[in-house]
Amino acid sequence: MTIARHVSGFLVKPALVGAAVVVLLVAGCGKKDGDRPQGQVIGHVGPDDVTIQELENEFRLANIPTEKRTDAVTKGALLEIITRKAVARQAIAAKLDREPTMQLDLLRDKEQMLARTFQQRKLSDQVAGIGQSDVDQFIGAHPTQFAKRVVFITDQIEIPAQAVTSDLGVATKDAKTLADIEKLLSDKKIPMKRSSGGLDSATLPAQLAQQLQSQQASDVFFARVGGGGVFFKIVETQPKPLSGADANNLARQLMAREKLERLNQQVAADAQKAATFDGDYARVMAETPAKTDAAAKGAETAKSAAPSAK
């Protein structure tokens, strides 16, 4: 069985949900704009102030433009702020802020936020420097994503995450067809869903796209998708060349992604050069250098994508 790469999903961070608030006073809710406080402080949660800057920051983080900031939206943002402050005040009263692990967590959050913001701004500057000639060159160098782009129509069997185990890998490694896979899954009473799907070579790594294009009629592939796994077979390959504005937009997105990967690699390499360690940790760091080779990383990803690598 040929093994495909791991396809990652997206993680959405939920907002803080409500908790009990005993002491609560917010100035301005339900009043006209002219009645609201004009200073920096617009409300209070017990001894803590709520400022206009905090409200504006809440809007910024939620990507709410000025024209969308209705009374209902403003009230929701203020409720988010006061709930967070009230719960944080209770945590401080319980002396959680004095726990060593909490101090370390706060330090970690601060460092992550600073590092992320710095790299985002640095990446933004690099992306702004991409010219049309750079885009044209990128398009020409990646034919499977543009001029020779194809869509692979698949027959597939989806299984849940808990079913993707090493035992399943052993059981399916010699399966020749999706019918064989389906029978094995049925015998093991593993939930499954048979359906059709599609893979766009424009969004696949070039090596994987070429591998799929050279597949045999009997090849069955496996990939992790989202939280589960998919066994699939290519039943049709449809040419879908990409050009014009669509090609330019995709090229810029892919170039930005490549720049981010290189930036992350460079930051990690620079940090490793600047760091020193004592005792046994110096040996550990010397024996486990950072792996920045893209081919090695791709091979590791391919192996981890399947229950068992053949």
Q: What is the 3-state secondary structure (H, E, C) of the chain?
A: CEECCCECCCCCCCCCCCCCCCCCEECCCCCCHHHCCCCCEEEEECCEEEEHHHHHHHHHHCCCCHHHCCHHHHHHHHHHHHHHHHHHHHHHHCCHHHCHHHHHHHHHHHHHHHHHHHHHHHHHHHHHCCCHHHHHHHHHHCHHHCCCCEEEEEEEEEECHHHCCHHHHHHHCCCCCHHHHHHHHHHCCCCCEEEEEEEEHHHCCHHHHHHHHCCCCCCCEEEEECCEEEEEEEEEEEECCCCHHHHHHHHHHHHHHHHHHHHHHHHHHHHHHHCCCCCHHHHHHHHCCCCCCHHHHHHHHHHHHCCCCC
In a domain, 187, yes or no: yes
The mean per-residue pLDDT over the stretch 138-154 comes to 94
The sign of the dihedral angle between the CA atoms of 194, 198, 201, 205 is negative
User: At which of 184, 210, 240 does a domain end?
Assistant: 240
In a domain, 133, yes or no: no
Q: Does 157 share its domain with 87?
A: no
User: At which of 240, 268, 285 does a domain end?
Assistant: 240
Q: Does 164 share its domain with 227?
A: yes
Question: CB–CB of 157/184 below 8 Å?
Answer: no
In a domain, 16, yes or no: no
Q: Does 48 share its domain with 82?
A: yes
Tell me the pTM. Answer: 0.62
The mean per-residue pLDDT over the stretch 12-18 comes to 33
Q: Does 121 share its domain with 169?
A: no
The candidate with the shortest Cα–Cα distance to 91, out of 111, 105, 110, 112, is: 105
pLDDT class of 213 with cuts at 50, 70, 90: confident
In a domain, 94, yes or no: yes
Residue with tokens 């029978």: 183
User: At which of 219, 240, 261 does a domain end?
Assistant: 240
Domains contained in the chain, number: 2
In a domain, 140, yes or no: no
pLDDT class of 21 with cuts at 50, 70, 90: very low
What is the reported pLDDT for 29? 43
Q: Does 44 share its domain with 86?
A: yes
In a domain, 253, yes or no: no
Q: Does 82 share its domain with 161?
A: no
**Which domain covers residue 97, as residue numbers?**
25-126
pLDDT for residue 151 is more than 90: yes
Cross-strand partners of 132? none
d(C-alpha 277, C-alpha 283), whole Å: 9
What is the reported pLDDT for 210? 86
Mean pLDDT score of the chain: 82
In a domain, 217, yes or no: yes
pLDDT tens, residue by residue, 246-277: 999 999 999 999 999 999 999 999 998 999 99
Q: Cβ contacts of residue 282 below 8 Å, gap of 6+?
A: 276
Q: Does 107 share its domain with 44?
A: yes
Q: Does 173 share its domain with 116?
A: no
Q: Does 122 share its domain with 165?
A: no
In a domain, 39, yes or no: yes
